[in-house]
Amino acid sequence: MDFEVIIIGGGAAGLTAALVLGRARRRVLVLDDGAPSNAPAHAIGGLLGQRDTSPLELLALGREQLAELPTVTVRERRAISVRADADGVEVDGVRAEQLVVATGMDYVRPDVAGLEELWGDTVFHCPFCHGWEVAGLPLAVLGTGAHAAAMGRLLRAWSDDVVVLADPDALPEGARDGLVVDGREVVAVRAEGGKLAAVVFADGAELPRGGLLIHTPLAQRPSLLDGLGLEYTDMGAIAADDWGRTSVPRVWAAGDAAVFPPSITVAIASGTRVAGGIVHDLVVAA
């Protein structure tokens, strides 16, 4: 075997798994194309010991740590082909005993003009990650159905002024009770000084807001993994046990690709668990 473990994906989950495995003296190869889904975020919220650190800065620090481990190799390239057999796994012709899939997921965002420029800052999908930065401001939720109503109630932990931007007729019976609901069509957001200033409706009217939580379903990235025969959950995540073992022997999954909810803190935890399970299989169960 060229390596004991190959990790596809160098985000928070993949780098954490590599760190734990490297500190256990396992020979690890990390392949990463440098395109994490959280790259636009200005900072990571709620990560212990980090303040105003961006996701890209955190990953750079992680790579510095990995550079100190002689058994870990990081290559900045996209994996092209992968297969698994009874003897091990192979990625682009490189053989290993185990494979970790840490490819992340894509956030499917609504087609609203101006939204992309504010994404990861005052337009966000996770109130636990970004709610503190907009606390006390007038906020809004853009979504549909029961999810929009639930997020509207949740967002009131950060603001007393929350408007749910959804079709009221599409909300389940009783779901809108106690909520302020505006069913007008949202076509754009307007910024001032790089921050959200207002939501713009199809009729030209504006709703002044300081933060907008949007519903972003997760989607697996166009994947070279299709030929592995992995099983997936109803939510589209890779099905895995508590340690990250997938339905395919020798193949593990960590981070957003397999674990809910999508966040850096959860990804770090899942990378740690996967690494622990792999070390057990390589050393104890061998």
Burial of 265 (0-12, 13-18, 19+ CB in 10 A): middle
How confident is the model over 153-169, as a mean pLDDT?
Answer: 96
Residue scoring higher pLDDT (53 or 210): 210
Residue 238 has pLDDT above 70, yes or no: yes
> Can you list the domains of the chain with their CATH numbers?
3-106+217-284 (3.50.50.60), 109-214 (3.50.50.60)
Q: What string of H, E and C letters represents the secondary structure of the chain?
A: CCEEEEEECCCHHHHHHHHHHHHCCCCEEEEECCCCCCCCCCCCCCCCCCCCCCHHHHHHHHHHHHHCCCCEEEEECCCCCEEEECCEEEECCEEEEEEEECCCEEECCCCCECHHHHECCCEECCHHHHCHHHCCCCEEEECCHHHHHHHHHHHCCCCCCEEEECCHHHCCCCCCCCCEEECCCEEEEEEECCEEEEEEECCCCEEECCEEEECCCEEECCCCCHHHCCCECCCCCECCCCCCECCCCCEEECHHHCCCCCCHHHHHHHHHHHHHHHHHHHHHCC
Burial of 153 (0-12, 13-18, 19+ CB in 10 A): middle
- Which residues have CB under 8 Å from 172's CB, separation 6+? 145, 146, 149
How confident is the model over 126-135, as a mean pLDDT?
Answer: 94
Residue 222 has pLDDT above 70, yes or no: no
The neighbouring-strand residues paired with 155 are: none
Report the predicted TM-score, pTM, of the whole model to 2 decimal places. Answer: 0.90
- The residue behind tokens 């796994």 is 89
How confident is the model over 185-212, as a mean pLDDT?
Answer: 97
Contact 41, 55 (CB under 8 A): yes
pLDDT at 276: 97
The whole-chain average pLDDT of the chain stands at 93
The neighbouring-strand residues paired with 31 are: 8, 75
pLDDT at 179: 93
How confident is the model over 28-37, as a mean pLDDT?
Answer: 90
9: nearest Cα among 57, 21, 94, 18: 18
Choice among 85-99, 148-162, 163-177 with the minimum mean pLDDT: 163-177
pLDDT at 253: 97
